[in-house]
Amino acid sequence: MGKYTSIGGQALIEGILMKSPEKTAMAVRLPDNEIDITYFEEKSLRSRYKILALPIIRGVVGFAESMVQGYKAMMISADKSGFTNLEEEADKKKEAEDKKKNNLLISIVMVIGTVLGVALSVVLFMLLPRLFVSGLQSVFNTEFSKLVRSGIEQLLKLSVFVLYVWLVSFMKDIKRVFMYHGAEHKTIFCYEKGLPLTVENVREQKRFHPRCGTSFMILMILISVIISTVVQMIFPNVYNVYWLWVAVKILLVPITCGVGFEVLKICGKYDNVFTRIISAPGLWLQRITTKEPEDCMIEIAIAALKACEPETPDVDRSVDNQAQTEEIQDDNI
């Protein structure tokens, strides 16, 4: 019988980040085929300030912290795995100077990329849906109800999001990340069932998990339909002012994020008809964002989970004593 665990993870470049209430660890496959374990010592703001651990608020804080930590882990994994290796230059002095210039250039590009990314998100997920609905109303010479307007806008957002994810899934490097994503889910399922963490046991598990970040993104879009509709019913004139509606939608993002986080926790903790219905869209999309992993990827997921496993596990791990032939030895963890 499976048990709920609060351990979660993130697929990286040739690696996986796992996080438990006590530890955060990252396992990466090095160029020499060894497994490298890196621990993150950052203390969550939610553990420092009780107010940030309250329902809804904790979801917003957790999402922001996950984004920052995930980006940092992704950069570290890219470096450790050799993904970003460049040819060595003979002139070391010139190399150092070039490195400084490159670092400055990368910083500038990252800032510009972030600004453009936010601008593109506003256009694709806020302005475009609003303009699309206005265009439909003009074509059909009618005025949609608040519920229909929100439904069309969110359906367009969902379509753009799914199309984007589907297109990038064909990229070779992204496909490998999605395979590591599958390994992460399978390993957590194995852990929740209390089985020995072996490649053979992990391989047999499902790769679709209700607490996945993919499900979170779908939930945010669906919850946004409800919140947007309620706001339009309370303040009907706000929708008619383009810039004001976009501003309101931006301000509603933290609330949507917080509610989505709480719903996702419930779906991951309970298994009933209600949670299955809510989880269904996210689980379906995981058919794109997770792929069947190779055994070497499963080894990475096992190493990452064992490295972050709390001293008092939330599932019984005593059966692990039977797994003496496991490929990943404690010496490597």
Angle at 188 between CA 332 and CA 58, to 5 degrees: 105
Cβ–Cβ under 8 Å, residues 214 and 282: yes
* Span 287-316, pLDDT tens digits: 999 999 999 999 999 999 999 888 766 665
Strands 15-19, 8-12: pairing is: antiparallel
| 39: Cα within 13 Å, side-chain hemisphere | 10
The token duo for 223 is: 């919850």
The Cα 282–Cα 277 span in angstroms is 10
CA–CA gap between residue 260 and residue 183 (Å, rounded): 24
pLDDT in tens, 17-53: 998 878 889 999 999 999 999 998 767 777 777 887 7
Residue among 256, 246, 266 at smallest CA distance from 224: 256
User: What is the residue whose two structure tokens read 């999605």?
Assistant: 178
State residue 290 phi and psi, 5-degree precision. -125, 140
Q: Find how far residue 76's CA is from the centre of its chain.
A: 17
Query: Would you tell me how many other CB atoms lie within 10 Å of the CB of residue 302?
Result: 30
What is the average pLDDT score of the chain? 77
**In whole angstroms, what is the distance from residue 290 CA to residue 283 CA?**
10
Which residues are within 8 A (CB) of 7 and not within 5 positions of it... i.e. 6 or more apart? 18, 19, 20, 188, 191, 305, 308, 309, 314
What pLDDT score does 86 carry?
42
Q: Does pLDDT of 322 surpass 60?
A: no
Count of positions (residues) in the chain:
333
**DSSP three-state, residue 1:** coil
Q: Where are the domains of the chain?
A: 8-85+101-323
Q: Which amino acid is at 22?
A: E
CB 306 within 8 A of CB 328: yes
Give the pLDDT confidence of 215-238 residue by residue, as tens digits.
Answer: 777 777 778 778 877 888 888 788
Enumerate the H helices of the chain as residue ranges. Answer: 45-48, 57-80, 92-122, 128-140, 146-168, 172-192, 199-203, 213-234, 242-269, 273-289, 295-308
Q: Is the dihedral of CA 189, 309, 54, 2 positive or negative?
A: positive
Residue 137 reports pLDDT greater than 60: yes
Query: How distant, in Å, are the alpha carbons of 53, 55, 100, 216, 272 from that of 145?
Result: 37, 32, 56, 27, 33
What number of other Cβ atoms are within 10 A of residue 22's Cβ? 11
Report, as an integer, the average pLDDT of 68-75.
83
Indicate yes or no: pTM above 0.85: no
